[in-house]
Structure formats: C-alpha cells, structure tokens
Structure 1
Amino acid sequence: MATIKEVAKAAGVSVTTVSRVINNRGYINKDTRQKVEAAMASLDYHPNEIARALQRSQSDLIGIIVPDSSHPFFAELIHYVETYANELQYKILICNSLGHSEKEANYISMLRQNRVDGIIMCGHSLNLEQYKKVSLPIISFDRIITPSIPYVGADNFRGGELATEHLVSRGCRKLLHISGPLKIDLLPNRRTDAFRLVCMRHDIPHRVIEGEPYKLTFEYYWDFVEREVSKHLSEYDGVFCSNDILAYALYIYATQHGISVPEQLKIVGYDYHNFTRMLQRPKLTTIRQPIDRIGKALISNLIQLIDGNKDLSNTVVDVELIEGETS
C-alpha cells in the first residue's frame, strides 16, 4: 500500500503539502492540488481515516441504530439518512439491534470506539439511564429519552386521530385498534391515545389489542392476527392497525376467511413506506409518515448538535391520510 511520502515524491511536493490537500487545510493552488490528487489516484493511496479523526477530533462518521433494517420503514429511513448525510460529507455506520438490549449496548460501545461524531437512536431497547450515559451527541427517533436529548418524529396523535375519524366517517360503529407495545413509552403510543379519545368523543365501543415489542415481520403479524385478533374480528367493523404490514396481514386473513373488505370490515394502516406504495391489490388506506423529511431532520438536527447547538428543539412533522381500497 502506498505511503504519503510516495505520494509526495510522485507529485513533486512536500509531505506537508499532501497532508494539507488531504485535510483541506491551508491555501493550495489549483495546479498543486491536481498534481497531488492525480498522484494519489495513480498510486491508489487512501488516507488513514482513523488517524485523521484523531488529528481533527472529528471522524465525519454518524451511527444509526435501528431495530430491524429489513423492515420497509427502517430500510427507507436509512436510505434518506444516508442520502442527506452524504450531501453533508458524512458517512453512516448502520447497526441492527433486532430489539436486543445487550446488542444495542454493544453497538453503542462500538460506535464510541470508532469515534463517531454522533448517533441516531431508533432502537430504544435500553432503559433511559443507559442512554443518558452516552457521552456523544444523540438524536432520538420517536422516543422521549430526556429533555437534553432532542427527538424527531411524526405527529403520532394526529395520525391516530385521522385514522379513527376516517373509520367513523365511513360508518364504522365498533372499532378495534391493534397497537404496538404500550408498556414501552414511545411516541407512537400517542396514536392509541387519539384512537381512544375519538371513540369516546363519538360514543363508539372500542378495544385495543397490544402487540409485542420489536416483532416487525409479516410472519409475526400473520401469526398474531391468527392467534390474538381473529377471535374478535366478528365483533368489529373497523380496524386501525399500527403499521401497514400488519394491515396487509389482516386484509389477507380476512379475505381468506370470508370477511369482505371493506364491505364488512374496514382497515386503516400506518406508514405508507415503499412496501405499501408497491402494493397493487389492495391499495391500503393508511396514514403517511413523510419518511424523507424525518430522515433529513434526523441528520440536520444531529449535525447541529455536533456543531455545538445546545438549544436545539424537538422536531415533529405532519402526517396525512391516504385513502385506498380497504376502507
């Protein structure tokens, strides 16, 4: 592997000049910069990023911890986070916690050892005290950790309100909500709060069935519908699902068991990620979270923290109802 001295010799400049080109410091005229860059390319020279990070006290690396990168929502979120980070000359380290607190703790340790400049926390399987001990700039997604750690999220309460009001407007008179795990204090639980309040406002009988933490696959949702939801379906004419994969699993189960959607059972999902947009039949009625705006806000706000902004406020983005064929 080529050394910086070999690059300097090939370009006919000093090692200091090569270092200035690499670190973009000091004045370097255009011809000299082009000579150095050409020498680096011809010798296939790559600077030691770790050494540069130690020298500059900044690595231009950002870590993102997600519960499951294969889930369409998080896959799309990672896409936008990486895109916007790249525009600002940052690289991304992706960590897949799969809902395991020990794994998430190990990833945080690894990110600190690799001197990342900050962390986007989407995993949320650790207790709050463990997050508070992380001595790095942190942005949380969809969870209030502490007032000193800003969060980014969509307007979950409004999303729950839109979904429930839509089912009521379609003539539903007994509603079911299949939520995420309510024992973990996450911002998406506000969807459940809105569901209950709208049902009370309209004097509509309702029930909430709670899902398990960090179970995000179609296989899980199918089994959950079969095991926990199916015995109640005949009692309800409208269901608000906590995500689109669950809504799709419920639609398939209902149609396979002689329940006509939307004539007998109306279904509303949540997310409107690329999985939902690719579905041709049915077109789900759902609540759209603007994943692109969430990704951009996560990066923008984290970099503000990295740059020393101590007064950063939380960011909440709007949601909207997407009317499809299931309601």
Structure 2
Amino acid sequence: MSTIKEVAAVANVSVATVSRVLNNKGYVNEETRKKVLLAIEKLNYVPNEVARSLFKKQSKTIALIVPDIKNPFFPEVARAIEDVMSSQEYTLILCNSDGNVEKEIMYLDVMKQKYVDGIIIVTSTLTPKHIESRDIPIVALDRPISSDLPSVSVNNYEGAKQAVQYLKTIGCKKIAHIRGPHAISNADERYKGYLEEVGHEPWFHPDLVVDGNYHVEQTTEAATRLLLINPDIDGIFAGNDYMAVGVLKAARKLGIRVPDDLSLIGFDGIQLSQLTSPEITTMAQPIYELGSTAAELLLKLIEGKTVERFDYQFEVSLMKGQSTRALGVIPFGK
C-alpha cells in the first residue's frame, strides 16, 4: 500500500503539499495540484482515515445509541438518520444499550476515544451530568434528557388521549392499557394520557393497566391474564405497536376476535403495524422526520452552527387499520 511520502516523492513536492491537496486546505497552485493528483492516481493511494482522525481529532462518524434494536421503531428511525448523515459523507455506528446505564456510559466513553464527531442517544437513565462531562455534541431522541440538550420527540400525552378518545368514539365501554416500562418518559406520558381519559369512568380500576415493558412476549402473557380476568374489556390501548402485536397474539390464543369482540389501538406507526392480520390502528409518529431532524441538529452542533431550538416536539396522527371496529358497529353479543 502506498504512503503519502511516496506520493510526495513521485510528484516531487513536500508531504505538507500533498496533505493540503488531500484536505483541500491552504494554497496550492493548479499545476502542483495536478501533479499531486496524478501521483495519487498512479500509486492508487488511499488516505489512512485512522491516521487522519487522530490528526484532526475527527472521524466523519457519528454514533446512534438505542435501548433495544429488536424494537422495530429504532431501525426505522436509524434509516432516516443514516440517510441524512451519509449525504454529508458521515458513517453511522449503531450501539444497543439494553437501557443499561453502565453500557450507555461505556459507549459514550468509547465513542469519545474513537473521535466520533457526535452522538444521537435514546436514553432514560443518563443525566445531564453524564452528558456535560463528555464534551461531545449530543442530541437526545425520543426521550428528552434536559432543557439544555437538543432533543427530538413527540407529544406522547396528547397522542395517548387521542387514542383513547377514538376507542370511546367507536363505542368501547371498558378500555384497558398495556403500558411501557416505568420511569421511561414516553411510557409515563402515554399512561397519563390514558388515565386522563378514563380515570373518572365508573368502570375504571387500576387493574386495567398492566405492564408490557415494550416487549411482545411479556405483553402476550400480561394481556392473556388481563383478558381472562376481565372478559368484558372491549378496547385496549397498547403503549406501542410492538406491544399491540402481543395483544393480537393473546386475543388469538383466547379466541377473541379483533375487532369484532375487541378493538385495539397502538402507538408509533411502524411498518410492522401494517403487516399484521388484522392491520393495527395506531397513533403514528412521523418517524422519518424525527430521525432526520435529530441528524440535522447533530450536524449543526458538529459544525459549530447556532441551534435555534432545543426542544423539537412533533404531533402524532391517527392511522386507521383493521384492529378497531367501524363507528357505530356494535360487537356481537354485547
């Protein structure tokens, strides 16, 4: 493999001149530039990106840290981030933290050591102190960390209220909730939105809320128990679409027809919600816009540009599927 010294020797210039041509920095007259480019082509020289990173303390890479890569929401948002970053010749490193604070801190430290230029992170465990001490551009995605750190998320509370309101509109009389993990801000906000709509109802009982923890298997088990104990439940708001799939599995196992006996609505709008049978009605996040906005914010931070807003919050929208019955249709036997 050729070296920069060999390129300089063939072009009969200094190593510093070759470096200026490679980095497009500093003055080099046109004739000398052509000689260097011809030497590079002749020797098939490829710059050592590792050495370049060490010299510049930059790497043209960014990291995305997510809690669970198996959750289909995160690959979809990663696609948007990668599209934006690759258009600017950045490479994306994907890290799975399992929502573990020690792993998240380890990733922050490793990425800093590797001169990663910036990080987009989905976390419910890191505090502003963890971030401030790293001295690296960071954008919070899906779950804000602090008002001093740029974040991109949706209005989970209002979205949850709209989901339950829709179930009421189509005639559901007893609505349960499969909630996400406790102490995760978006799960808590979706639970609060549900509670705002049903907490005053005479039929409401805390036992109508069960933990699915954003996992299909846990949700299937929890929803099975819930529906066995409360066979009169005719509506379920699942805290995300991944858990809604678990509710479908539980209903099928118990012989409960969706939507004839049970209307189901999720949250996220991931592609998977359109691939199930029946297709899941959901409160859809603008997933691609979330990812691209986070990426554009991070690029501004990396380039030292002014960030006009630190809190980007998008609204969600109802995406009707087949898992909720039509308005005015009374379930058989009710």
TM-score tier, shorter chain, comes to 0.7 to 0.9
Correspondence for 2:310 among 310, 313, 327: 313
Following superposition, the deviation at residue 38 of structure 1 comes to: 5.8
Of 83-92 and 238-247, deviating more is 83-92
Following superposition, the deviation at residue 185 of structure 1 comes to: 4.3
Correspondence for 2:217 among 216, 219, 238: 219
Cα distance change on mapping 1:324 and 1:43 into 2, 3 Å: same
Instruction: Report whether the alignment pairs 1:92 with 2:89.
Output: no
Of 172-181 and 85-94, deviating more is 85-94
SS in 1 for 2:186: coil
Mind listing any 5+ residue stretches in structure 2 that lack a counterpart?
Answer: 325-334
Structure 1 counterpart of 2:277, one-letter code: R
C-alpha distance in 2 between matches for 1:87 and 1:204: 53
C-alpha distance in 1 between matches for 2:238 and 2:36: 58
C-alpha distance in 2 between matches for 1:141 and 1:169: 32
CA deviations 1:216-273 (Å, max 9, x no partner) are 4x334334434x5344441411000011121122112212312111121110011122
Cα distance change on mapping 1:83 and 1:35 into 2, 3 Å: farther
CA contact (8 A) 2:155 2:315 kept: yes
Following superposition, the deviation at residue 32 of structure 1 comes to: 6.1
Q: Provide the residue aligned with 1:111 in structure 2.
A: 111
Q: Provide the residue aligned with 1:263 in structure 2.
A: 260
Instruction: Report whether the alignment pairs 1:291 with 2:258.
Output: no
Q: Provide the residue aligned with 1:70 in structure 2.
A: 70
Q: Provide the residue aligned with 1:139 in structure 2.
A: 139
SS in 1 for 2:185: coil
- TM-score, normalised with respect to structure 2: 0.85
Alpha-carbon RMSD: 2.6
Q: How many equivalent residue pairs?
A: 321
CA contact (8 A) 1:60 1:91 kept: yes
C-alpha distance in 2 between matches for 1:17 and 1:100: 48
Structure 2 counterpart of 1:321, one-letter code: L
CA contact (8 A) 1:282 1:326 kept: yes
Mind listing any 5+ residue stretches in structure 1 that lack a counterpart?
Answer: none
- TM-score, normalised with respect to structure 1: 0.87
Q: Percent identity, please.
A: 35
Q: Provide the residue aligned with 1:190 in structure 2.
A: 189
Structure 2 counterpart of 1:208, one-letter code: V
C-alpha distance in 2 between matches for 1:297 and 1:98: 24
Structure 2 counterpart of 1:89, one-letter code: E
C-alpha distance in 1 between matches for 2:277 and 2:78: 27
Of 45-54 and 62-71, deviating more is 45-54
Structure 1 counterpart of 2:240, one-letter code: N
Q: Provide the residue aligned with 1:276 in structure 2.
A: 273
Q: Provide the residue aligned with 1:153 in structure 2.
A: 153
Q: Which has the higher Rg, Structure 1 or Structure 2?
A: 2
CA contact (8 A) 2:156 2:190 kept: yes
Of 233-242 and 167-176, deviating more is 233-242
CA deviations 1:156-184 (Å, max 9, x no partner) are 122212211110111011111111122x1
C-alpha distance in 2 between matches for 1:35 and 1:232: 81
CA deviations 1:3-61 (Å, max 9, x no partner) are 01223344565433321232121355777656645654554433233433344343322
